[in-house]
Amino acid sequence: MTLLVVSAHAGDFVWRAAGAIALATSRGRRAKVLCLSFGERGESAKAWREGRTLDEIKKIRRGEAENAAGVLGAEIEFLDAGDYPLQETPELVDRMVRVYREVNPSVVLTHQLADPYNGDHPAAARMALQARVLAQAIGYDAPGEPLGAPPVFFFEPHQPEQCDFKPNVLLDITEVFDTKRKAMECLPAQQHMWDYYTDLAKRRGVQVKRNAAPNLGLPHHTMGEAYMRLYPQVTGELA
């Protein structure tokens, strides 16, 4: 199993998917984060108020994201495509296709397709999905073998009720939550998010326990992440 995470900004993959990433790497699997921007314009208010320049802010956010990825045991690549707005271009999609071909992911995580608060998030999702389809085409001119059909999971947006997010996958991240918290603390530029996503993990953990088989014996302090599966699951047995 190889995990590919397409993140619009430097912090998105940490808040929303660090548990899934840490689980994968703790089991010896490869995880790669493709970070489309540093979140330098729209998600770095603290640095702007401190009078930092654009280049300084990019460097700060890059360092934070690299540190967080290191804690999670993940690879990270930055495309420096800019944010607010993140522009959808054929050139950027082509660069993403090449990453798909190189990684050959068995699972893809990215943003929800609707977010009225942040247009960069659905833009990243649309490009992630387009690149996945193009990477499958045998005639597409990019190195590597054509992609299979990796399932795509949307991670939870910041305000799910406004983003048509209806979770149908609940992931138990209890065993790696401390790692997720350490990764979050690598992002002081958005320190206000640390407790928010800790509290969210607790609430999703309650739902993990409620929806799990009773014989799993999940601990009282179960922590969780929520996902929404895009494509149908293919299976030979209902369970």
Whether residue 239 lies inside any domain: the answer is no
End-to-end CA distance of the chain: 21
Whether residue 124 lies inside any domain: the answer is yes
Helix (H) or strand (E) holding 134: helix 120-136
- Rounded to 5 degrees, φ, ψ at 39 are 70, 30
The sign one gets for the Cα dihedral 141, 142, 143, 145 is negative
Paired sense of beta strands 169-172 and 107-110, if any? unpaired
Whether residue 126 lies inside any domain: the answer is yes
Whether residue 238 lies inside any domain: the answer is no
Whether residue 234 lies inside any domain: the answer is no
Show the tokens assigned to 79: 């495309």
Phi-psi category of 225—alpha, beta or left, where left has phi over 0 and alpha has psi -120 to 50? Answer: beta
Domain count for the chain: 1
**What pLDDT shows up at residue 221?**
87
Phi-psi category of 73—alpha, beta or left, where left has phi over 0 and alpha has psi -120 to 50? Answer: left
According to DSSP, the residues that pair with 172 across neighbouring strands are 224
Domain hosting residue 154, numbered range: 2-229
CATH number at residue 167: 3.40.50.10320
CA 189 to mean position of chain CA atoms: 18
Query: Residue 217 above 80 pLDDT?
Result: no
Paired sense of beta strands 169-172 and 2-7, if any? unpaired
Whether residue 18 lies inside any domain: the answer is yes
Q: pLDDT digits over 140-178, tens only?
A: 999 999 999 999 999 999 999 999 999 999 999 999 999
pLDDT band at 212 (very low <50, low <70, confident <90, very high): confident
Rg (CA), the chain: 17
**What's the predicted TM-score (pTM) here?**
0.96
Q: pLDDT digits over 119-146, tens only?
A: 999 999 999 999 999 999 999 999 999 9
CB atoms within 10 A of CB 239: 4
